[in-house]
Homo-oligomer: A and B are copies of this chain.
Amino acid sequence: MSSSIFALDWGTSNLRAFRLGADGTCHDQRAAAKGILAVPPGGFEAALTDIIGDWLTEAPDAPVILSGMVGSRQGWVEVPYAEAPAGIDALLAKALPKTLKDGRTALFLPGVSCLRDGVPDVMRGEETQIIGALALAGLADGPVCAPGTHSKWVQVAGGRIVSFATYMTGELFALLRDHSLLGRGLVRNDAGQVQAAPPDLARAGFERGVAQAFADPAVLRTLFSTRTLGLFDKIPALALADYLSGLLIGAEVAAALPEGGRGTVPVIASAALADRYAWALALRGYTAQPISGDAAAVAGLAHFATAYLRQGR
């Protein structure tokens, strides 16, 4: 059994690499804006060497374990999705090994698919962060939220991912801000970027959007209020982007979490985004537990790495 392992969360836009001991302790870590879209065809092994070549040289027998879009059709090795429900063992059983030029093994973890009422959903990389976030939160069950361009809400029971759903919240916000009629009503600087409101105003605008989303679940119908509330001077123009953000995140939270529930929900996000989800969750009666993407990734990868090393492969 190797005494160390290199674990990578290699996504579409970014890469995180962790140098782990056999017990999962992280001894070193690196990040690079070298997502799979920035790697030329056939260039993945060279890209890996670019980033952690010195680690590889120092531990020539240590395996590499990889999670995320690097295991997709556009990545290095395509790994079919593991169907939910699935826990660490089921995901490891679906992982695909590849022998690198220097003889070491690289193990590519699968993404997860699920069926909701006959409609498939997929994720690749988030499942590792989900498992890590639950461990960090000391939970084996419950919903976990990984917000972003495509937010994931994941139901976990007994450490296994049972089901999940993807919400296109972040992408829709960016589309509406940058390309829609609503975007034309926002206050922008000379470079065309939306100007940030002072913190109190931003939070008030955001929470008003959340409240509106909770009161009316039809996003298609609530969106236009971003324009009319501005038109009638009922919300300061500077807070309209926050209101729109609240409308969308509020609709996501309302669809993902039952009303009248309570409890702690791990939210895997940067501090600024985690704040917004914390405000929306609080209005729904829940408590958000913010966990950074780095922390969730290394904790999740450590679980996979130690389980893999224990298998003695």
Q: Report which A residues bind B (CB closer than 8 A).
A: 117, 119-122, 150, 165-169, 171-172, 175-176, 178-182, 212, 215-221, 223-225, 228-229, 231-232, 234, 248, 251-252, 255-256
Contacts and interface: CB of A to CB of B under 8 A. Distances in A.
Contacts of A165: 221
A220 B120 contact: no
Contacts of A166: 221, 224
A120 B252 contact: no
A223 B122 contact: no
Give the most central of A150, A171, A215: most B CB within 10 Å: A171
Q: Determine chain A's interface SS by DSSP, over half rule.
A: helix
Contacts of A234: 120
Nearest to A215: B117
Given A175-B180, A228-B122, A255-B221, A216 B117 contact: yes
A171 B212 CA distance: 21
A255 B175 contact: no
Contacts of A251: 218-220
Report the 3 A-B pairs with minimum CB-CB distance, sorted nearest first. A218-B255, A166-B224, A120-B228
